[in-house]
Amino acid sequence: MLFSTHIIGEAEYLCDRIVLIHRGRKLAEGTLRELLEGTGCGNLTDAFLRLTARADQGVGR
């Protein structure tokens, strides 16, 4: 099942795997644990904000 939401807490609670998309581009994909470990954040909102900041600065391109 594909579940799309802008409410990050819903994704944390309901989803086994998560794809974070910003400006039409995939930023990251994985389990909640993988995304948190990969960004060093404690929650998905902070991970998303960190990844979008990097993308907007052109880091990792």
Give average pLDDT by consecutive 10-residue segment, the chain, 61 residues: 93 96 95 97 96 86 50
Can you give the pLDDT at residue 59? 65
Would you list the domain boundaries of the chain?
Answer: 8-57
User: What are 10's strand-pairing partners?
Assistant: none
Reported for 39-45, long-range contacts at CB under 8 A and 24+ positions apart, including other chains, are 43/12, 44/8, 44/9, 44/11, 44/12, 44/18, 45/8, 45/9
The model carries a pTM of 0.85
Tell me what pLDDT residue 42 has.
96
